[in-house]
Structure 1
Amino acid sequence: MERQGLGWVTVRGEAAGFAVREQPSSDYGIDAIAELIDDEIATGQLVAIQIKSGSSYLGETKDGCYIYRPDAQHVDYWLGHTLPVIVCLCDPENEVVYWERVAKDTIESTGKGYKLAVPQVRKLGKDTREALKDLVTPRVASSDYTLVSTEDVSHGMAKRYSIKVVLNRPMTKPELAAVIRDMTAKTAKRRYSRNAVVKGRWGEADAHVVWAFIYASAADEKKANYTCRSLWIDPSLDGEYAPIPLVGEDVGDGTIVDWKQSPLAGLSDNGKGDFDKEHYLDLVDPIVGLIIESLADIGKALQKWQSGASIESNFLSETKSARQQISDAYDAHASSQEPPYECHDLYEQVGSMLACTHNIVLYHSERGIELWTDYVRRQMTATALNDANKHLNRIKHERGKVS
């Protein structure tokens, strides 16, 4: 009976200009999602459907309406859903589908439960297209949000993307869901690859997995403080190669949204707080100057060690002061207050540079000497020194931008 009901909702929904897609049986309270089609083009505007089929749902009538009595758990779920929800009562014998939207003004509490009056004149079909169009999720202009990054995180068994989107205005949950669906669908069709190996593996294939992180502002994106996050997994992807499913709400097309804010939210307000540009520069300029001197000393000592004119013990003696300065600088920057937004690019480069230089300290610590041979330590030191100097060039560029 329920399958018959889904069949007639699909047929009548298509007559109204909607594409009806069955939802997984695990999606509590929603049996299908319908998408508005305009001029044979999918709009991304959706409505969720709960289907009840058979004469038992048509037995109680009052004032020209069928009375449907859902339980409180379903009512709470529908009213809290991101998508608009309609209930469809199906009469398979007469091939008719009656419908009504679920909203606070249509659901009536009886004290013991709830009831929904479904008008007998409201039949799903081409004549109700305009009424249904008034219910669907909103469309959001592309100028209202900005894609700020696309990361290819594919592996050999799945093509995967992770994107970050910054909002250009405040949005409601239905609007956010519309943005997420739109960006997820577009990202799944991307052909970007992080290198030639990945491109050779996946070629022109669509993505199997798309993560999306939504930020209320550019400042929030810098602080990794997302408003919500989502995950879409291609149903055809072998579960062995799929990521851990996200716990959240299905907002259509199998896209799951976790509406919880980032775990990092509010950490910058833990007593440190942001501090202004001049104070951050007063902190970072001496650190950078100190590192430049330290790297120069390490570079000279390393060159002698590599050429065979010196040995590791001499290197350690000649760089002892430099390595201590690096440790002090690393600790000072790591414990500093959150920088102002305009300094975040500089902050990230300084942090990356300090991480590279601090690796040199770690390589020649007691633990490093236990783990690696002197040859490996020398090679890793050379690599870290080279990487740190690359970051110093970028720091110079970022420092000029905030002067």
Structure 2
Amino acid sequence: MARFDATEQIGVNAVQQIVLKELGWIFREQPVIDMGIDAHIELVDEQPTGKLIAVQIRTGPSHFTETDDAYIFRGKLTHLDYWTNHSLPVILGAHFIESGETFVHVDANRVKRTGKSWTIPIPKANRLGAGTRDAVASVFDGSPAQQRMRKLAAPDAAHQGRREGFS
């Protein structure tokens, strides 16, 4: 086995380029202690919005089983639990070095638990870029539970600063 393998970083760099060039959003790589989140993406709507999503990027065909219309990802339940309990919505990116193509899953409702693991199809129609901008942008709002948490936290945080003398 090689002592150095750049495969995963190639996938992160590919997603970064698409996010910056095609979507016009902010990409923040998470290089320290990767626990299943490779980067955060911030939505820009003329100005940065403060809305974030997390992204896990898998690179190469070894992570997927290919069907006619999708790439099927199989993961460990510990990753699924981490992602579904994350404070940010999490999307999964699939980058294929040979073709240079990157795909994205945005629908957590398509997850299937399979005993000791789980699967999710990433449709081949979901090529990350301008064509999937609206689908990815819809994820920034988060799940209903994440939206409720933001509503509970936001007013308190705004008032807390004023009570403690912060402007």
TM-score (norm. length: structure 1): 0.34
Tell me the amino acid that sits aligned with residue 32 of structure 1.
Answer: A
Tell me the amino acid that sits aligned with residue 149 of structure 2.
Answer: K
With over 3 angstroms needed to count, the CA separation of the structure-2 counterparts of 1:102 and 1:175, relative to structure 1, is: farther
With over 3 angstroms needed to count, the CA separation of the structure-2 counterparts of 1:174 and 1:27, relative to structure 1, is: farther
- Alignment correspondent of 1:97: 102
| 1:53 paired residue among 56, 59, 62 | 59
| 2:11 paired residue among 2, 5, 11 | 5
Q: What is the Cα deviation at residue 44 of structure 1?
A: 0.8
Structure 1 counterpart SS, 2:139 = coil
With over 3 angstroms needed to count, the CA separation of the structure-2 counterparts of 1:26 and 1:174, relative to structure 1, is: farther
Between Structure 1 and Structure 2, which shows a larger proportion of strand residues? 2
CA RMSD of aligned residues (A): 2.5
Q: Distance in 2 between matches of 1:127 and 1:136?
A: 17
Q: Distance in 2 between matches of 1:93 and 1:19?
A: 26
Tell me the amino acid that sits aligned with residue 8 of structure 2.
Answer: E
- Alignment correspondent of 2:139: 135
In the TM superposition, 1:177-192 aligns within 5 A as: 179=154
Q: What is the Cα deviation at residue 175 of structure 1?
A: 4.4
- Alignment correspondent of 1:65: 70
Q: What is the Cα deviation at residue 63 of structure 1?
A: 4.8
Q: What is the Cα deviation at residue 85 of structure 1?
A: 0.6
In the TM superposition, 1:102-113 aligns within 5 A as: 103=108, 105-113=109-117
Structure 2 counterpart SS, 1:134 = helix
Identity in percent:
33
Q: Is the Cα contact below 8 Å between 1:137 and 1:174 reproduced in 2?
A: no
Structure 2 counterpart SS, 1:114 = strand
- Alignment correspondent of 1:172: 148
Q: Is the Cα contact below 8 Å between 1:16 and 1:128 reproduced in 2?
A: no
Q: Distance in 1 between matches of 2:31 and 2:13?
A: 15
Q: What is the Cα deviation at residue 102 of structure 1?
A: 5.6
In the TM superposition, 1:149-228 aligns within 5 A as: 172-175=148-151, 179=154, 214=157
Tell me the amino acid that sits aligned with residue 30 of structure 1.
Answer: I
In the TM superposition, 1:32-47 aligns within 5 A as: 32-39=39-46, 41-47=47-53
Q: Is the Cα contact below 8 Å between 2:76 and 2:116 reproduced in 1?
A: no
Structure 2 counterpart SS, 1:24 = coil
| 1:29 paired residue among 36, 59, 80 | 36
- Alignment correspondent of 1:398: none
Q: What is the Cα deviation at residue 64 of structure 1?
A: 0.9
Q: What is the Cα deviation at residue 120 of structure 1?
A: 0.9
| 2:88 paired residue among 60, 76, 83 | 83
Q: What is the Cα deviation at residue 111 of structure 1?
A: 2.1
Q: Distance in 1 between matches of 2:90 and 2:75?
A: 13
Q: Distance in 2 between matches of 1:174 and 1:28?
A: 23
With over 3 angstroms needed to count, the CA separation of the structure-2 counterparts of 1:80 and 1:92, relative to structure 1, is: same
Structure 1 counterpart SS, 2:140 = coil
Q: Which runs of 4+ in 1 moved over 3 A?
A: 174-177
TM-score (norm. length: structure 2): 0.79
The count of aligned residue pairs is 150
With over 3 angstroms needed to count, the CA separation of the structure-2 counterparts of 1:70 and 1:88, relative to structure 1, is: same
Q: State the Cα deviation string for residues 328-372 of structure 1 (Å, max 9, x = none).
A: xxxxxxxxxxxxxxxxxxxxxxxxxxxxxxxxxxxxxxxxxxxxx
Q: Is the Cα contact below 8 Å between 1:25 and 1:31 reproduced in 2?
A: no
Tell me the amino acid that sits aligned with residue 114 of structure 1.
Answer: W
Tell me the amino acid that sits aligned with residue 110 of structure 1.
Answer: T
Between Structure 1 and Structure 2, which shows a larger proportion of helix residues? 1
Unaligned runs of 5+ in 1: 139-170, 181-212, 223-403
